[in-house]
Amino acid sequence: MFTQTMIAGWGDMDFNSHMRNTAYLDKSADSRMLFFAAHGFSAQEFARRRIGPVVRKDEVDYFREVNLLETIEVGLSLAGLSEDGSRFRLCNEFTRADGKPSARVISTGGWLDLAARKLIVPPEALLAAMRLLPRTDDFVALPSSV
């Protein structure tokens, strides 16, 4: 699993003094982009190719609180993929420093051609990188978007 260590910062907190719901979505997006960058698809490479990931739905399950300045491990795995790679489901698992799960985010999306504003099949190298991610136990084969 692709894993990054992150910190729950001041801007991640809500009124109840724990990590706010949208902070989980932000850290999930950071995790995805760090994975893509580590596999040859930096923000600059996406811009050069005029494509980008687009999320159509996020689902969040919360298990335990994360408080200010706590360290969290954010893991990334593959929860679903179409044969051509045009649609994906990515899973981020959040684990506290004590080893207890904090949250799970499932993001469903596809690949957007930034000029045509249409969903596309990703470049082969990007699809190959996605296939390197371990599959979740509930992995599903998705229909194509194109």
pLDDT digits 0-9 by tens, 86-115: 999 999 999 999 999 999 999 999 999 999
Distance of CA 87 to the CA centre of its chain: 13
Q: In the prediction, which pLDDT does 6 show?
A: 98
* Percentage of residues of the chain with pLDDT beyond 90: 98
pTM: 0.95
Give mean pLDDT, residues 53-71.
98
Q: In the prediction, which pLDDT does 1 show?
A: 82
Extract the tokens encoding 14.
């809500």
**In total, how many domains does the chain have?**
1
Residue 96: which CATH number? Answer: 3.10.129.10
Q: Tell me: the pLDDT tens digits for 22-34? A: 999 999 999 999 9
Q: How far apart are CA 69 and CA 36, in angstroms?
A: 26
Identify the domain containing residue 120 by its residue range: 2-142
Q: In the prediction, which pLDDT does 71 show?
A: 98
Give mean pLDDT, residues 35-55.
98
Q: What is the DSSP string of 81-133?
A: EETTSSEEEEEEEEEETTS-EEEEEEEEEEEEETTTTEEEPPPHHHHHHHHHS
Residue 56's CB: how many other CB atoms inside 10 A? 11
Q: In the prediction, which pLDDT does 113 show?
A: 98
Q: How wide is the angle at C-alpha 46 spanned by C-alphas 104 and 103, nearest 5°?
A: 5
